[in-house]
Structure 1
Amino acid sequence: METRLVPYETLNALQKQQLDGLEVNPEQLAYSGDIYCALNSLLVNPNPDAIKGFALLADEVPVAFLLLKRPPCLPHWADEHSATLHALQVDRRQQGRGFGRACLQALPAMAIQVWPRIKALELSVDSDNVAAMGLYLGADWVDSGVAYKGRLGYERRLTLAL
């Protein structure tokens, strides 16, 4: 199976319709939100250069989605020379097949292609989201050691130098 990470705006009408059907496991909704929230934050943003959406295609069918943000849409904890990862979602019917890892492997090159001057990727993850922590740390993201009170509990900041 061939996978590739592509910008949202390059999806054709059928792929956008398929992406609308992406479902997150109910226990993951609190962490990643759903596809409607992610697409809404992408599509209603008045500064399209500050938020980019990407879909992971498996044999040309969307199986995952994520957002990257840059100033002025960066969260307060992010470095201005980085891009931050948000709303990483793998369709619940496709989980366990390595698609989250495929997103993270393709992400650095895609981020540099979109924003050549960024120095790192950053994200914030709930400490109790064991699956996500394992995914990110296994993909060479580095835990900064900083924990802070987030929406649901304590969150950790992770960085991937580019």
Structure 2
Amino acid sequence: MNVTEKKITLTKVASHHLTSLKQFTLHEHQLAFTSMPMPAYEKCMRDPNRLPVAIIEGVRTVGFFVLDQGDDVFSYTTRPHAILLRAYSINLPDQGRGIAKASLRQLKPFVEKHLPDCREVVFGVNEDNPSAKKVYLEAGFINTGEQKMGRSGPQAILTFFMTCSFTSEPLKS
């Protein structure tokens, strides 16, 4: 059964999400493209530039990703005020029901609320992962036509601009 977008919400990871995140499973081949939530969450706890985000369906934690404001973003874009999406995953039992696309469509309002200076969300999707690439593109991301070498091969760089009037000029404080 596919989910409706109204049932999917994004929230900062809180302590009550950790039990679900510890129980996450992924296909073994997916681990070439992403990481399990707990190691990524633990990196967030050591790095204040990383924001861990839980994907919620109703009251259940069904997915996870990180928004990274650190310097790694500049290996994907030269634009200021960009953030890097990383470690995106949907728990294996919940895959194939439209949760990924619905959660990605919630990304803009979530970022506007929690990271209001952000003007671009960027990330790399492995070229050997066409089903994930299709989901990101259907959710509104744009293929920049550029590539970056990742740990498991070449990645297409995808972007999502937060405003239509994006420029590379720094924001005024």
> TM over 0.5, yes or no?
yes
CA contact (8 A) 2:76 2:122 kept: no
Q: Does 1:3 align with 2:2?
A: no
Mapped to 2, the partners of 1:108 and 1:7 lie a distance apart of 14
Structure 2 unaligned residues grouped into runs of 5+: 163-173
Matches within 5 A, 1:65-144: 65-78=64-77, 79-144=79-144
Mapped to 2, the partners of 1:154 and 1:61 lie a distance apart of 34
- What does residue 33 of structure 1 align with? 35
Deviations 1:53-104 (A, max 9, x none): 1111112110000000113453522333211100111000110111111220
Deviation at 1:122, TM superposition (A): 0.6
Q: Structure 2 length as normaliser, TM-score?
A: 0.83
- What does residue 51 of structure 2 align with? 52
Q: Structure 1 length as normaliser, TM-score?
A: 0.89
The runs of 4+ residues in structure 1 deviating greater than 4 Å are none
- What does residue 153 of structure 1 align with? 153
Mapped to 2, the partners of 1:58 and 1:160 lie a distance apart of 23
The share of aligned pairs that are identical, in percent, is 22
Mapped to 2, the partners of 1:74 and 1:140 lie a distance apart of 19
CA contact (8 A) 1:31 1:126 kept: yes
Mapped to 2, the partners of 1:75 and 1:20 lie a distance apart of 30
CA contact (8 A) 2:125 2:132 kept: yes
CA contact (8 A) 1:85 1:123 kept: yes
CA contact (8 A) 2:21 2:38 kept: no
Query: How many residues in Structure 1 have an aligned counterpart in Structure 2?
Result: 156
Deviation at 1:132, TM superposition (A): 1.0
CA root-mean-square deviation? 1.6
Deviation at 1:140, TM superposition (A): 1.4
